[in-house]
């Protein structure tokens, strides 16, 4: 009798855990988590001008970042790359190419940890260590910061501001890491684009890792998306340029 009860408890626990994992997966794939933490961040410029900023997280990557840079160069578009410090050290030549070709850069932490409820010393180390690496390798100083997974509390946001950084999120999420095809990504962004938008892409990483991953759909998305948005009257700018435009309003 006791064994039967234990088996029932284990079975119900298994069902509960499986359901929780499924719900979390669905939430992660189909809901943009940034919606819940945008307050106190810069996620869209206040402007009526048809400008839009393309941003890329998790690089640099020796394969995908270079392919993305090729597409941006062909289209004559500048973007913003939020780089992981460890990757900048691993692939310095790619980081230098980003800056040499006139793109904007930002800090995406050194090791890509989720910073929610991080102690102050850890938060400061992740940002400043990455800043130092970017400066040493590219000669570029940046105070743009994007948190991994977007999650930050009001306390962390205040600390980041105290350190002199602007927390940058996004208003349109390509969800390219989910491996949606390029047509789906392109149509979603094209239909929902508004003046001042910041679009999230990735040039490395995947659902469960910060390096590698497959950004084929991202690279396929870019040329046609850029072409279609230009036809719609949009001009592509960097996040720093969007901040300057917002400051004027």
Instruction: Give, in order, the Cα–Cα distances in Å from 93 to each of 87, 117, 161.
Output: 11, 34, 30
Told to judge if 57 belongs to the known catalytic residues of this protein, a careful annotator would answer yes
d(CA 117, CA 153): 7
Backbone angles phi, psi at 177, to 5 degrees: -70, -20
Told to judge if 202 belongs to the known catalytic residues of this protein, a careful annotator would answer yes
Catalytic residue among 87, 108, 112, 202: 202
Contact (Cβ atoms closer than 8 angstroms) between residue 46 and residue 70? no
d(CA 164, CA 162): 5
Omega before residue 60 within 30° of 0, cis: yes
Q: Is 167 helix (H, G, I), strand (E, B) or coil?
A: strand
Q: Which residues are catalytic?
A: 57, 202
């Amino acid at each position: 009798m006791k064994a039967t009860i234990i088996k029932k408890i284990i079975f119900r626990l298994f069902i509960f855990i499986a359901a929780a994992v499924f719900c979390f997966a669905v939430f992660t794939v189909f809901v943009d988590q940034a919606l819940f933490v945008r307050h106190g961040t810069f996620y869209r410029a206040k402007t009526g001008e048809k400008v839009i900023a393309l941003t890329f997280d998790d690089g640099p990557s020796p394969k995908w970042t270079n392919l993305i840079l090729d597409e941006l160069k062909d289209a004559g578009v500048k973007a913003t790359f939020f780089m992981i410090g460890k990757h900048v050290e691993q692939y310095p030549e790619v980081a230098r190419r980003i800056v040499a070709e006139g793109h904007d850069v930002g800090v995406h932490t050194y090791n890509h940890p989720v910073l929610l409820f991080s102690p102050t010393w850890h938060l400061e180390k992740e940002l400043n260590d990455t800043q130092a690496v970017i400066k040493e390798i590219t000669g570029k100083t940046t105070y743009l910061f994007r948190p991994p997974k977007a999650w930050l509390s009001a306390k962390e946001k205040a600390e980041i501001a105290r350190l002199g950084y602007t927390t940058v999120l996004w208003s349109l999420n390509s969800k390219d890491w989910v491996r949606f095809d390029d047509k789906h990504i392109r149509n979603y962004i094209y239909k929902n684009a508004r003046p001042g938008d910041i679009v999230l892409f990735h040039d490395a990483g995947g659902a469960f890792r910060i390096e590698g991953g497959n950004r084929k759909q991202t690279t396929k998305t870019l040329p046609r998306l850029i072409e279609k948005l230009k036809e719609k009257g949009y001009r592509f700018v960097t996040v720093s340029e969007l901040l300057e435009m917002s400051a004027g309003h």
